[in-house]
Amino acid sequence: MSRRFPCVRAGLLGLALLVAVPAPAADDPDVLRLQARLEALQADPDVARLAPFEQMQAREALAALAAARRAARPEALYLAERRVEIAELAVRTEAARQELARLDQRRTELLLEASRREAEEARREAERLRIQAQIQAEEAERLRLAAEAEAAARTEAEQALGKAASRQSAQLSAARRKEAELARQEAELVSGKKLPPARFDGQSEVFTLPGSAYAAGKGALSASGKDAAAALAAYLQINTRNVRVQAWSQDAKLAQARAQALREALVQAGVPAARIKAEGRSGPASAQRAAEVVVAP
C-alpha cells in the first residue's frame, strides 16, 4: 500500500498544476505554443507524474508570460521558453533514469537465471549482457550530458531573474528619488525657505548645512541656519521617516551643542522630538559642511 502513495501524490500534483494555470490568451501564439508543449507532457501517462517541480515552474513562468505587460514581455517570453525546455529535459531525464534502473534490475534477474543454465547458454547470455552494459554506459553518459545541460539552463534562467530584480530595484530607487524631489519642492513652497543641498546615500537622504549655519565659534544657529531649519521642518512633516542630526567640531561639547540646537529648531517647527536623534561628531567643521540631517528608513 505504501508504494502507491508516491504515484497518488504525483497525480494530485499534476492535477494541481493543470488547475492553477489560467487559460492562455486566445490571441497570444507564444503562450498557446508553450502551453501545448506542457500539455503534451501531461497527455502521456508514463511521464505526466515525472519532474513535477520543473513542470510547476514552467507553468508559473507561462502564467507570468500571459499576464506580462508589453515592456516586460520579451523577458517573460525568454524565461517561459527556458522553463518549458527545462521541464521537458527533466521529464526525459527522469524517464531515462527509471528505464536504466529497470534494465539494471532485469540484468540481475538474467544473471541469476544464467547461473542455472548450461555453460554454453550462460556464455551467450553473458555476451548479450556485456553488450547491454555497454549500451547502458552510453545511456549513462548521455544522461550526464543532459544533466549538465539542465544545470546550465537553470543558471541562465537564474541570471535572467537576477537582472530583472536589479532593474526593478533601480526603478524603485528612481521612484523614491522623484518622490523626495516633489516633497522638497512642496516644503520650500510651504516654508518660503530654501532647503540645504541634499544627496542620496543608499536608502538615506542627507542634507548638508554649511559653516555659515552657525554663529562663529558658538553652538547657536545663525539666521541662515534658522531658515534652513524651517525648510527642513516643513520637509520632515511631509517625509515622516526617522531623522539623525549630526554636527562636527574639534570641541566635542561644541559639536554636541550644535547638533542639539538644530534638533531643537526642528522640534519647535513641528517635527516630533521622538523622530530626531542628535549627536556631535569629533572632527573639523568646514565652510561646506558643519552639520548634516540624515533622513533614513
53-89 pLDDT tens trace: 998 998 998 999 999 998 889 998 999 899 999 988 9
CB atoms within 10 A of CB 61: 23
Residues 6+ apart with CB under 8 A from 59: 17, 20, 21, 38
pLDDT at position 159 over 50: yes
What pLDDT shows up at residue 122? 77
What would the pLDDT profile of 122-147 be if each residue is shown by its tens digit? Answer: 788 888 998 988 898 888 888 888 88
With cut-offs at 50, 70 and 90, classify the pLDDT of residue 40. confident
Residue 54 sits at φ, ψ, to 5 deg, of -65, -35
What pLDDT shows up at residue 15? 42
Percent of the chain with pLDDT over 90: 39
Residues 294 and 207: their CA atoms lie apart, in Å, by 6
Where would I find the beta strands (DSSP E) of the chain? 198-201, 204-209, 242-249, 276-282, 291-296
pLDDT at position 152 over 90: no
pLDDT at position 110 over 60: yes
pLDDT at position 7 over 70: no
Our CA angle for 288, 294, 295, nearest 5°, is: 140
Residue 19 grid cell: 488547475
* Structural domains for the chain: 4-171 (no CATH), 192-296 (3.30.1330.60)
What pLDDT shows up at residue 164? 64
Distinct helix (H) and strand (E) counts, the chain: 7, 5
Residues 292 and 276: their CA atoms lie apart, in Å, by 12
With cut-offs at 50, 70 and 90, classify the pLDDT of residue 176. low
CB 77 within 8 A of CB 34: no
DSSP line for 14-38: HHHHHHHSPPPPTT-HHHHHHHHHH
Kindly give the pairing relationship between strand 276-282 and strand 242-249. Answer: parallel
For cell 513535477, what's the residue? Answer: 52
Sign, CA torsion 8/14/17/22: negative
Residues 133 and 168: their CA atoms lie apart, in Å, by 52
Q: Which amino acid is at 287?
A: A
